[in-house]
Amino acid sequence: METELALSGPPSSLSRRLVLVSVRERGVGAEQLRLIATDPEIFEAFYREHVEAIQGFVARRVGDRERAADLTAEVFLAAVDSADGYRSGRGSPKAWLYGIARIVVAADHRRVGRERAGEARLRASALLDEDDAAQIEARIEAAAGLRHLYEAMDRLSEPERAILELVAIDELGLAEAAAAAGVRPVTARVRLHRARRKLRAELETASTEPIIDKGDRS
């Protein structure tokens, strides 16, 4: 029988070692997630488990390396602040973290262009080293090739686009995407079907449009 790893109170030295062994071998599960707020080593394991995916998620939506690094750090800070409120019935830790990332990126988009004087922001160096920064840069460059696809995606409704991105670009399963977006799986499935249908039509239309020579304008 597996050792019970869900802790109801402050962990003893032995139980903490068992938790650390578990998260290092299998990742931070629903039973240990709340401990990322109080145990630096468990947080580090959680961070290393998910940072690459979150970097990619942010880089695909933000075209600036420094901003992407800041937002990645903000996602994990928000996760620490929200850990006590996590409920496994609302999705896996991965889906929960993607849900936080969506909120952080959306909030940043809303405040772009606003005055940020006096706001104490966490710099990327608090969580990201030079190798991490280089990885973010590479992901931003790789994501540039998706810009033309995003032009077609801009014509989708926000709920449809969110599900499509989570499944097709971020490679979440439908259930995880639904949890990240805060909707039921059946709703996510309908939105995904509609989004794919609309996107296919947009791309087919774009492929049949004649190319206008910029030097041949009257």
pLDDT at res. 215: 45
Q: How far is CA 33 from CA 84, 126, 161, 184, in A?
A: 8, 21, 29, 23
| 57, 72: one domain | yes
Q: What is the CATH number of the domain that holds 151?
A: 1.10.10.10
Long-range CB contact pairs, 29-32, < 8 A, 24+: 29/5, 29/93, 30/86, 30/88, 30/92, 30/93, 31/5, 31/6, 31/7, 32/5, 32/6, 32/7
Nearest one of 169, 6, 25, 198 to 101, comparing CA atoms? 169
Helix (H, G, I), strand (E, B) or coil at 11: coil
Confidence band for 206, pLDDT divided at 50, 70 and 90: low
Evaluate if residue 30 carries a pLDDT over 80: yes
Residue 33 belongs to domain spanning: 24-111+121-144
Kindly write down the DSSP assignment for every residue of 18-82, as one continuous string. Answer: HHHHHHHHH---TTTGGGGGT-HHHHHHHHHHHHHHHHHHHHTT---HHHHHHHHHHHHHHHHHH
| 171 vs 204: which has the higher pLDDT | 171
| 178 vs 152: which has the higher pLDDT | 178
Kindly write down the DSSP assignment for every residue of 143-204, as one continuous string. Answer: HHTTHHHHHHHTTS-HHHHHHHIIIIIS---HHHHHHHHTS-HHHHHHHHHHHHHHHHHHHH
Rg of the chain over Cα atoms, rounded to whole angstroms, equals: 20
pLDDT, mean over the chain: 76
Evaluate if residue 147 carries a pLDDT over 80: no
Evaluate if residue 51 carries a pLDDT over 50: yes
| 132, 30: one domain | yes
Evaluate if residue 117 carries a pLDDT over 70: no
pLDDT at res. 109: 78
| 98, 191: one domain | no
pLDDT at res. 90: 76
Rounded mean pLDDT, 26-34: 84
Given a contact cutoff of 8 angstroms between Cβ atoms, the answer to whether 27 and 45 are in contact is yes
Lowest mean pLDDT among 57-61, 151-155, 188-192: 151-155
Q: How many domains does the chain have?
A: 2
Given a contact cutoff of 8 angstroms between Cβ atoms, the answer to whether 43 and 20 are in contact is no
186 within some domain = yes
Cα angle at 104 between 99 and 106, to 5 degrees? 95
79 within some domain = yes
pLDDT at res. 102: 92
- Fill in the DSSP letter of residue 125: G
| 162, 191: one domain | yes
Confidence band for 214, pLDDT divided at 50, 70 and 90: very low
49 within some domain = yes
197 within some domain = yes
| 107, 153: one domain | no
pLDDT at res. 98: 94
